[in-house]
Amino acid sequence: MGGVKMKRALTIGLCLLMLCAALLPAIAIGQRMGMVNVSLKFEGSPVEGATLTVYQIGRTKQSGQTGEFEAIEPYTQQGISFENFTIEKGTAVIEKLAAVFAKPNSLEGVSMTTDANGQATWSSLAHGIYYIRQTKSEGMADEFEFIAPFLVAIPVMNSSSTHWAETIEAFPKLETTPTPTPSPAPSTPPLITLPPTDPPVVPSYPSYINLVVTKSWKDSSDADALRPKNIVIHLYQKLSSALEYDTTPYLTVDMAGVGNEWKFTFYDLVRYDSSGNRYDYLVREVGVNGYETKYDKNGFTITNIHATPTPDPNITPPPVTTSFITPPPTPSPSPQPLVPVSVRYVDEEWVYYDDYGTPLGALPQTSDESDMMLYVVAAFVLMGAACILAMLLYRRRRKNQ
pLDDT digits (tens, 9 = 90+) for 262-300: 999 999 898 888 888 999 999 999 999 999 999 987 778
Question: Per-residue pLDDT for 150 more than 50?
Answer: yes
Instruction: Report pLDDT for 2.
Output: 38
Q: Are residues 249 and 301 in the same domain?
A: yes
Q: Are residues 216 and 87 in the same domain?
A: no
Q: Of 55-69, 226-240, 319-333, give the lowest mean pLDDT range.
A: 319-333
Q: Which long-range contacts (CB under 8 A, 24 or more apart) does 134-138 make?
A: 134/50, 134/51, 134/52, 134/53, 135/51, 135/52, 135/53, 135/111, 136/50, 136/51, 137/49, 137/50, 137/51, 138/49, 138/51
Q: Residues of the chain with pLDDT > 70: what percent? A: 71
Q: Are residues 295 and 239 in the same domain?
A: yes
Please tell me whether residue 77 adopts helix, strand or coil conformation. Answer: helix
Q: What is the pLDDT of residues 236-271, one digit of tens each?
A: 999 999 999 989 999 999 998 889 999 999 998 988
User: Using 50, 70 and 90 to split pLDDT, how confident is the model at 393?
Assistant: confident
Looking up residue 248, the CATH number of its domain turns out to be 2.60.40.1140
How far apart (Å, rounded) are the C-alpha atoms in residues 316 and 225? 24
Q: Are residues 9 and 65 in the same domain?
A: yes
Q: Are residues 133 and 32 in the same domain?
A: yes
Question: Per-residue pLDDT for 171 more than 70?
Answer: yes
Residue 78 in domain: yes
CB atoms within 10 A of CB 400: 6
CA 323 to chain centre: 64
Residue 388 in domain: no
Instruction: Identify the DSSP state of 400.
Output: H
Of residues 183 and 335, the one with the higher pLDDT is: 183
CB atoms within 10 A of CB 212: 13
Q: Are residues 215 and 355 in the same domain?
A: yes
The residue range of the domain holding 77 is 2-170
Residue 375 in domain: no
Instruction: Report pLDDT for 60.
Output: 83
Structural domain ending residue among the three candidates 117, 144, 170: 170
Number of domains in the chain: 2
Instruction: Report pLDDT for 196.
Output: 56
User: What is the residue-averaged pLDDT of the chain?
Assistant: 77
CB 22 within 8 A of CB 158: no
pTM of this prediction? Answer: 0.41
Q: Are residues 233 and 160 in the same domain?
A: no
Q: Are residues 353 and 271 in the same domain?
A: yes
Q: Of 74-83, 330-339, 367-376, give the lowest mean pLDDT range.
A: 367-376
Q: What is the pLDDT of residues 314-327, one digit of tens each?
A: 666 666 554 445 55
